[in-house]
A and B are shown apart, each in its own frame.
Chain A
Amino acid sequence: SQQGEEDPQALSIQEGENATMNCSYKTSINNLQWYRQNSGRGLVHLILIRSNEREKHSGRLRVTLDTSKKSSSLLITASRAADTASYFCATDDARNSGYSTLTFGKGTMLLVSP
């Protein structure tokens, strides 16, 4: 079953603009991760934010986490055509003890036009 729900399902922007994607989840988590997928191939790990963190940055990426609202957002600043991909959030359920598995949302398709 899907844990996270990304919003919007699809996003179309121009190069140079910022892109914001949101993720909501249902259970308590150990951490939340964002992945990128190009053309239905493998997933590329972007960033991991732990449940006791509120914000994290990596290059042009900024992730926030609000555990009280069970939600996260991914901001990509100054987007490029190469950022065109599907973006997924994945949660590591806090009920997992001694092991770690990920539950993914359905993803947001981002299209960045030149």
Chain B
Amino acid sequence: DAGVTQSPTHLIKTRGQQVTLRCSPKSGHDTVSWYQQALGQGPQFIFQYYEEEERQRGNFPDRFSGHQFPNYSSELNVNALLLGDSALYLCASSLGTETEAFFGQGTRLTVV
């Protein structure tokens, strides 16, 4: 049973560019949440998708957007990248309103 998979593993982008990160949830899970983890900090909630809709959003600017597909996989898009967007981006999947979340290995984004 595959767990949560994220791609790519590492990414280097230039300031001002756009980036798309991808996540496939654990089999049977229908809810995907995205988190940003800066170096030395805990993960911060970006947003959550359920039934292809953004169900909840954290304190992140509109440059951060997402999408969930009918197969429950999800994308995180970040436009107009800033140096401060450099972080580990984590995807977590869960089932419905269940709290227990399973995390992927993350995508390390470096903005130069």
Which A positions have Cβ atoms within 8 angstroms of B?
Answer: 1-2, 4, 30-31, 33, 35, 40-45, 48, 88, 90, 92, 96, 98-107
- Contact among A31, A44, A100, A104 with B43 in the assembled complex (CB-CB below 8 Å): A104
Interface contacts (Cβ under 8 Å), in number, total 75
Whether A100 contacts B45 by the Cβ 8 Å rule is no
Given contacts A99-B48, A106-B41, A107-B42, contact A42 B103 (CB under 8 A): yes
Query: Interface residue tally of chain B, by bracket?
Result: 20 to 34
Whether A101 contacts B42 by the Cβ 8 Å rule is no
Whether B102 contacts A92 by the Cβ 8 Å rule is no
Residue with the highest number of chain A CB atoms closer than 10 Å, among B44, B90, B100, B102: B100
Whether B42 contacts A1 by the Cβ 8 Å rule is no
Query: CA–CA, A41 to B91, complex, Å?
Result: 11
- Contact among B42, B88, B106 with A105 in the assembled complex (CB-CB below 8 Å): B42
Query: CA–CA, A42 to B37, complex, Å?
Result: 10
Whether A42 contacts B104 by the Cβ 8 Å rule is yes
Whether B42 contacts A100 by the Cβ 8 Å rule is no
Whether A2 contacts B42 by the Cβ 8 Å rule is yes
